Amino acid sequence: MSVKLKGRDLLSIADLTEEEFWELLEFAKLLKLETLAGKRHEYLKGKTLAMIFQKPSTRTRVAFEVGMYQLGGYALYLSSNDMQLRRGETIADTARVLSRFVDGIMARVFDHQDAVDLAKYANVPVINGLSDEEHPSQVLADFLTIWEKFGTLKGLKLAYVGDGNNVAHSLLLAAGLVGMDIAVATPEGYEPKPFYVEKAKELAAKHGSSVQVLRDPEEAVTGANAVYTDVWASMGQEAEHEERLRIFKPYQVNPSLMSHADKHAIFLHCLPAHRGEEVVDEVADSPQSAIFDEAENRLHAHKAILAMLMGD
């Protein structure tokens, strides 16, 4: 196991080099094989992870909590109701105090700046478990899944259809980093932030791939090896739900849209899925769907992150 990432934070895919990204994927694959073989790997024996959840989650909590257990450590769940954060205590003080108690912090936050500030003031590794800007831990699991299905990443095409959100941002960066073509299709006004598009293009130029931001979902999906979507209204956007349903309807992933992809294409979704909205059952439950393999890989990808950042 490399020591390059030991003690580091992981707030963004941009924090990683191509070599480090692949080290995490390769280690996740090894941990998965060991887990399936019943082999124990206590890289974090006696260590504790504080898990800050401003936003609830099924997969993020279970993957990090079970991951710490399987690595020999302990995970402490801290919801907004369990903490003084934002109720008088500053993020800086929270980070400094937690650093005296735990060996790492995973934070699932609304505002990306909260994760940045936690990392600034903590003297233990901080992992972004989701923010409004990025979802790096999810995307490592996504790319592990694509790698398993195709045996490579470079030269493939990933199509993302829907809201240009945090997941889209991290997918753009990761695709550029590994030399995968990516096409993102969104309605007008819902594009990924220009910073992430430009950064992805810089990375893609170095690794021989392309980045496209389009309007037409069929154009984006044409020839794609993997088709990815996410919910149209994330947590905190409930008031926009009905309006978003109307705007995003042409971006639904259904059999008609999937027919434009490569015949061996897989379907991905970070879950939870709002079936009947961004994706229909005929795709989510089809032989092309890899969403549950992808969900399982959250565990193995998260374990790799934890072990490489927090391990001895």
Query: CB–CB of 85/94 below 8 Å?
Result: yes
Catalytic residue, from 163, 169, 270, 288: name it.
270
CATH of the domain at 290: 3.40.50.1370
Residues 119 and 172 in one domain: no
Q: Does 143 share its domain with 279? A: yes
User: Is 132 annotated as catalytic?
Assistant: no
| CA–CA dist 27, 74 (Å, integer) | 20
Q: Is 108 a catalytic residue?
A: yes
Instruction: Please state the rounded mean pLDDT for residues 70-74.
Output: 98
Which of the residues 59, 61, 112, 135 is marked catalytic?
Answer: 135
Tell me, yes or no, whether 255 and 145 share the same domain: yes
Structure-token match 């932030």, residue found: 193
Q: Coil, strand or helix: which one is 84?
A: coil
Query: Given this model, what pLDDT does residue 3 score?
Result: 58
**84 domain-assigned:** yes
Residue range(s) defining the domain that contains residue 278: 138-294
Concerning whether 230 is annotated as a catalytic residue, the answer is yes
From 70, 112, 114, 138, the catalytic residue:
138
Question: Does residue 156 sit within a domain?
Answer: yes
The two tokens of residue 51 are 């898990």
Same domain, 228 and 269: yes
Indicate which residue of 230, 252, 269, 300 is catalytic: 230
- Same domain? 70 vs 166: no
Interval 206-223 mean pLDDT: 98
When pLDDT is cut at 50, 70 and 90, the band that residue 85 belongs to is low
Q: Model-level pTM greater than 0.85?
A: yes
Per-residue pLDDT reduced to its tens digit, 296-309: 999 999 999 999 99
Catalytic residue among 108, 244, 269, 302: 108
Q: Are 147 and 282 in a shared domain? A: yes
Query: How many domains does the chain divide into?
Result: 2
- Check whether residue 145 and residue 290 sit in a common domain: yes
Q: Mean pLDDT for the chain?
A: 96
Omega within 30 of 0 (cis) for the link into 250: no
User: What does the pLDDT look like over 138-164, one tens digit per residue?
Assistant: 999 999 999 999 999 999 999 999 999
Residue 59 annotated to the active site: no
Which pLDDT tens digit goes with each residue over 237-289?
Answer: 778 889 999 999 999 999 999 999 999 999 999 999 999 999 999 999 999 99
Separation CA 168–CA 139 (nearest Å): 9
Contacting residues for 145 by C-beta, under 8 A, at least 6 apart: 266, 268, 290, 293, 294, 297
Residue 170 lies in a domain: yes
Shared domain for 163 and 287, answered yes or no, is yes
pLDDT, position 87: 65
